[in-house]
């Protein structure tokens, strides 16, 4: 009985580790606003790096990260439009608090995008950390 419990405990501890490595190797990762800032700075001249803001147009107008493209998650054709984007480019996605982007990450994985970073905490965390927005 004790041996079985030990085996189950080891399996339970390995599952999260294995799923993290799978998602990272697939090119999908949640990153902090500090890491996002660095990523943006490193890719300023990279045409294959896209910042994707999935908030509503009114949220976007209230302040967005420079060079961000707005694609409203709540639009009926969101997934159809997203499917037209180049799946081999690298995307940094964000919303207000990172609730919508969790769903967007799943959609992008299903649509076979290859490199997607999700900003933890969304634009709220970005502005709270003192990073700039365009208004």
Place of tokens 């943006």: 40
- 14 within some domain: no
CATH code, domain carrying 89: 3.40.250.10
Q: How many folded domains does the chain comprise?
A: 1
State the pLDDT confidence band at 25, using cuts at 50, 70 and 90.
very low
- 102 within some domain: yes
- 65 within some domain: yes
- 15 within some domain: no
- 69 within some domain: yes
Residue 47: pLDDT over 90: yes
Which is more confidently placed, 7 or 54? 54
Residue 107 CA, distance from chain mean position = 11
Cα–Cα dist 7/18, whole Å = 16
Tell me how many degrees the CA angle 100-31-122 measures, rounded to the nearest 5. 35
Are 7 and 101 in contact by the 8 Å Cβ rule? The answer is no
Residues 61-86, mean pLDDT to the nearest whole number:
98
- 103 within some domain: yes
Tell me how many degrees the CA angle 55-23-50 measures, rounded to the nearest 5. 40
Among residues 25, 81, 22, which one has the least CA distance to residue 52? 81
- 18 within some domain: no
Among residues 122, 1, 2, which one has the least CA distance to residue 54? 122
Are 122 and 101 in contact by the 8 Å Cβ rule? The answer is yes
The whole model's pTM is what?
0.80
Residue span of the structural domain in which 57 resides: 26-127
């Amino acid at each position: 009985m004790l041996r079985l419990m030990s085996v189950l405990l080891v399996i339970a501890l390995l599952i999260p580790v294995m799923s993290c490595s799978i998602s990272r190797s697939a090119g999908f990762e949640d990153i902090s606003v500090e890491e996002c800032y660095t990523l943006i700075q490193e890719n300023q001249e990279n045409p294959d790096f896209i910042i994707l803001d999935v908030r509503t147009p009114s949220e976007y107008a209230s302040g967005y990260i420079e060079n961000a493209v707005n694609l409203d998650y709540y639009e009926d054709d969101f997934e159809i439009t997203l499917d037209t984007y180049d799946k081999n480019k690298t995307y940094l996605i964000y919303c207000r608090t990172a609730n919508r982007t969790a769903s967007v990450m799943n959609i992008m994985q299903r649509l076979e995008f290859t490199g997607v970073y999700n900003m933890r905490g969304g634009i709220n965390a970005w502005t709270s950390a003192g990073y700039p927005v365009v208004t």
